[in-house]
Amino acid sequence: MNFIKKNWSNILFFLFIIFLFTPYGLPVRSFLIRQVAFVTTRIFPVETDLDERVTMSEYDWTLIDVNGDPINLANFKNKVVIINIWATWCPPCIAEMPSFQKLFYDYKENKEVVFFFVANDEAVKVKNFLNRKGYDLPVYFSVSQVPVELSSGSLPTTYILNKQGQIIVHKVGALDWSSSKIKELIEGLI
């Protein structure tokens, strides 16, 4: 007992390091990121400034779904397209998945809105992750070169394209994608 009293700050620091840098801390990090995303979504703008918006020059991007069936982004011109690039090992990606599941559920019957959850991970890991969490998101894997306008070296990265192919949202990091702010934005694009 005397050892704990003398070294409580060292023990606390050690536990902090374990949770910060090991897989044991993944749920805690995801929870904290989710809380921050909830606040930042409501405070900061999500739309790209008008003078910084880019229009897709090329829609040709071949993807395969979790069953190996091919699909091409070019088939979805003139739709509102939501693209999320993520991985199962990424804490901010995991943190925003529940809000994406809610958003997808709200719009999955709307033929004007299309979702692409592009995983940077092995298919088996992704399937296990989706099953374990109970998500029914349309997940894809990139087969061809990503269009230059959608290239990002960070995870998660999310894009929302309007029907004219203009990138309205380019967000790196977690957000609360089921917020009323995001839904209003999407409704305005439909």
Q: Each residue of 70-99: pLDDT tens digit?
A: 999 999 999 999 999 999 999 899 999 999
Residues 125-161 pLDDT 10s = 999 999 999 999 999 999 999 999 999 889 999 999 9
Domain extents for the chain? 6-189
How far is CA 138 from its chain centroid? Answer: 12
What's the whole-number average pLDDT of the chain? 89
Measured from the Cβ of residue 87, the count of other Cβ atoms closer than 10 Å reads 18
From residue 151, give the alpha-carbon distance in Å to each of 84, 138, 183: 12, 20, 25
In 3D, which of 79, 84, 77, 80 has the Cα closest to residue 60?
Answer: 77
pLDDT at 30 over 90: no
Please indicate, yes or no, whether the overall pTM of this predicted structure exceeds 0.85.
Answer: no
pLDDT at 28: 72
62 pLDDT band (50/70/90 cuts)? very high
Q: Does domain 6-189 have CATH number 3.40.30.10?
A: yes
Q: Is the peptide bond before 156 cis (omega within 30 degrees of 0)?
A: yes
